[in-house]
Structure 1
């Protein structure tokens, strides 16, 4: 009898494993991504993703462009990269709230009981993050182009420009998705994240050159990630063949940290 029970248990385990894997990763991710995107459209988040770069662009451009352009520079060309990077920061903050909402609503537990790969819910959320970044990129470029921002480099420079913007937002969103998944109050966490977002944007070369800051602050301003990405994006837009090493290193490190955070959050959920 014990042997029979053991065999039945093993058979049942195999059946559950087979049932769990009965929906392939691609279709499961596509279905969950579609649900997230439709929910974002209904809630207005998709609208906000497109138009928020427009609003922030005008908020910075209107008061600063006259002073900046006295030196003969085009402020729209200078400003557009940081607006797109700021959109990545806001996307990451939104990802915290989305993951936290799913956790509070018991979505993770329900997903774990379905016959889909465990990584599918995360990939579904990241599909919306990717869509949101593309919407923000489109909004930022529309307002930038209307105020004389232009790509003067090659097609390859333009592609790398857009890829860096998307990777920046995606990597940060992976980190914040993990935080939101485990946090008891993701809304509060998202509010707290607004503070470093503001510091990183204001204390960067995104709005004004590093020389406009006090001497003691300039090393931080020049070397923090927002400045590194903004300067690289400006070089790509200008077609001047900028040094990509620092931006690529930051991209790889952020992606690696994001993936490690997601893996740790997934293991913590399983152990709950």
Structure 2
């Protein structure tokens, strides 16, 4: 006697007083696997949390706090009295470049992180799994944003100790922070792209440190434009670090005008347009 159920075919053999029942699986259920349905948001959250925890264990967030302190002491104390003789409130003048240097420091960390994930094979491992393409890149950017926010808060705290104040209102202060974080995001994309293409985290950090130092020193962040020779003033005045420092200085005191803010917006859009696709391509390529 044979009976059929929805789960398969039951074959029942009757032998005297003994019944034996053997279940035969339905053909439709054989070899059937549940297809993974990855959630991009969950993947982003898990990878970001993983990176932030790693940053805490490696004391990277502590370094993000200490770096602005070193910049504040190293830049403010040697030049304070010289600038006071020129009638410049140097704490107010210097604070934007301290913040920008702290933000630039985070791009080096972003480059080291992407380079480390590349050479250890973690990036290639992500590409073999059902992970949405740009999620590893976005998670690195998110963790870098956390590091930049911590560094920005520390820089503003140290700046307050030396006399820096926001006198243009809360709205301008918020925009000041937004401009700083936009600068950090631009450099983080650049650092991530370079790190993904590099085979050495140490060489990557060294390669990024030099241009940041040059742009920082040859800017209007540490001294007015009149303190530079005539032949280099056009470069000093128009390069991005100077333009960001002009806008942030006005945002902190007196309020910014569109003519001062427009170059910052243009530089931000231009850098994102160049480096974000480059970082995406570098993170997606198979090595």
TM-score by length of 1: 0.89
Give me the whole-angstrom Cα distance separating, in 2, the residues matched to 1:184 and 1:266: 13
Runs of 5+ in structure 1 lacking a partner? 1-11
**Among residues 93, 102, 110, which one is paired with 1:95 in the alignment?**
110
Greater helix content = 1
Paired residues, what number?
A: 254
Aligned: 1:254 with 2:265: no
| Residue 104 of structure 1: aligned partner | 119
Answer yes or no: is the 8 Å Cα contact 1:157–1:239 preserved in 2.
no
Counterparts of 1:104-143 in structure 2, within 5 Å, are 104-143=119-158
Q: Give a deviation string over 1:13-66, Cα, whole Å, max 9, x none.
A: xx79x52xx221111111111111111111111100112011111101111001
| Residue 166 of structure 1: aligned partner | 181
| Residue 265 of structure 1: aligned partner | 282
Tell me by how many angstroms 1:267 deviates.
Answer: 4.3
Secondary structure of 1:244's counterpart equals: helix
Give me the whole-angstrom Cα distance separating, in 2, the residues matched to 1:145 and 1:237: 12
Tell me by how many angstroms 1:234 deviates.
Answer: 0.1
**Among residues 162, 165, 169, which one is paired with 1:154 in the alignment?**
169
Tell me by how many angstroms 1:113 deviates.
Answer: 2.6
Aligned: 1:74 with 2:102: no
Aligned residues: CA RMSD? 1.6
Runs of 5+ in structure 2 lacking a partner? 1-30
Tell me by how many angstroms 1:127 deviates.
Answer: 1.0
Q: Give a deviation string over 1:123-171, Cα, whole Å, max 9, x none.
A: 1111111001101101110010111101111222111110110011111
Give me the whole-angstrom Cα distance separating, in 1, the residues matched to 2:56 and 2:187: 22
Aligned: 1:52 with 2:67: yes
Q: Which has the higher contact order (CA 8 A, sep 6+)?
A: 1
Give me the whole-angstrom Cα distance separating, in 1, the residues matched to 2:143 and 2:254: 31
Tell me by how many angstroms 1:74 deviates.
Answer: 1.3
Greater strand content = 2
| Residue 29 of structure 1: aligned partner | 44
Considering only CA atoms, is the larger Rg found in Structure 1 or Structure 2? 2
TM-score by length of 2: 0.85
27-36 vs 152-161, which deviates more?
152-161
